Chain A
Amino acid sequence: MEYLLIIVSAIFVNNIVLAQFLGICPFLGVSNKLSTASGMSLAVCFVITLATVVTYLINKFLLVPFGLTFLQTIAFILVIAALVQMVEIVLKKVSPALYQALGIFLPLITTNCAVLGVAINVVTKEFTFGGEAHMLNLGEATVYAFATSLGYGLAMVLFAGIREHLSLNEVPKAFKGLPIALISVGIMALAFLGFSGIV
């Protein structure tokens, strides 16, 4: 039950793009086409989940015991950067097909603030699922990270669909490109606001 709440909350209520404003740059950057949007979503999903697990463990067994939590930012970003590189290398060797699909997005992910944002959130923020406020344990953190990245994918794919239609329409010159895209996201976010309060 707890896990279900986490999943619904992370995907719909606190959608990472539409409610938390994380990972906006790649969200706007690669959502032109449905195919690239879904590729990016998969890569992000993979990295966010992996990075959150690794940084959670590092925080718990290295930073906290030694009183070094002020190094969270620098430690996490380096771990994420290294992790992304490793994923790239491993993927290249193990599954060339997957690498073909995700490869070009991987380098972009290091500077995707969604990854660092989720990693920091999980170890610093208290969460309320079902009324009680508490810190997440490893299992919950993993589920939360995975569900959050699913939310990212959902927003991205929906938005790419809208944008593909937008590109076929005449819009006033000053609205062309990003402005009309941002206004569409605003309307999407308005719709997602309707989910608030259900968890």
Chain B
Amino acid sequence: MAAKSSLVNMAVCLTAVCLVCAAILGVTYAVTKEPIDNAALAEAQASIAKVLPQGEAISEEKSADVEGILGYYVQTAADGSVSAYAVKTVTGGFGGPVTLMVGVLPDGTVYNTSVLSHAETPGLGAKCTEENSHFREQWKGFKGKLAVTKDGGDIDAITASTITSRAYTKAVAQAVALVAGFSGEETDAASGASVNNKEEQDNG
């Protein structure tokens, strides 16, 4: 059966096996790189399309150095003005991180939301993934106080899953806050108002 061991044949054997395996892996990686990138891109685009109004041009992923924001995309209308943002945002839920894609219009209205990943309890918190449920429907066109009703806000929590609902709401709030920051800049730039003035006001 197995060959007798000596230092030479052990070294030769291990080296040969490692070389062959490295070659196999290298080839597989090279072959699958494009499909993997495409799959990731298609997934990102599908999740963006779900939460934004029908298609205008969408930018590359941009990153924002804000806690809880994983990245965002800007959608521009035909005339070049910004028509909506899609924000990838994460918070801690009941069982682990809850990652959402949130579509936000420049005026701060939530267009739609979708769940990218979560680890919530099946049948309880995991209901936040159910499309067409009341919890999910209420986000469409939502503009109001971003907190669950228990905390004095306008969001009806999922029954028996307040923690998940809070996490979901917090994630959306992060996205809306990010867009609110942008909209300030955008209108300043558009109206030609001096940015310095604004800063002075803030300081004052």
Residues of A participating in the B interface, judged by any CB pair closer than 8 Å: 70-71, 74, 125-133, 196-197
Contact = CB atoms under 8 A, between A and B. Distances in A.
B29 A70 contact: yes
12 contacts: A70-B29, A126-B96, A128-B91, A128-B96, A132-B67, A132-B91, A133-B68, A133-B91, A133-B96, A133-B98, A197-B94, A197-B163
A132 B121 CA distance: 18
B71 interface: no
Chain B's interface: helix, strand, loop or mixed, by majority?
A: mixed
A197 B120 CA distance: 10
B88 to A, nearest CB: 12
Interface residues of B, number: 18
Contact of B97 (A126, A130, A197): A126
Interface of B: 21, 25, 29, 67-68, 90-99, 121, 163, 167
A197 B98 CA distance: 14
Contacts, number: 37
Contacts of B99: 133
A196 to B, nearest CB: 7
A128 B167 CA distance: 11
Nearest to B117: A126
Contacts of A133: 68, 90-92, 96-99
A133 B98 CA distance: 8
Nearest to A13: B95
A156 B21 CA distance: 37
B155 to A, nearest CB: 17
A132 B68 contact: yes
A59 to B, nearest CB: 17
A127 B25 contact: no
B92 A196 contact: no
A132 B98 CA distance: 10
B92 A130 contact: yes
A132 B91 CA distance: 6
A128 B163 contact: no
A74 B27 CA distance: 16
Nearest to A197: B94
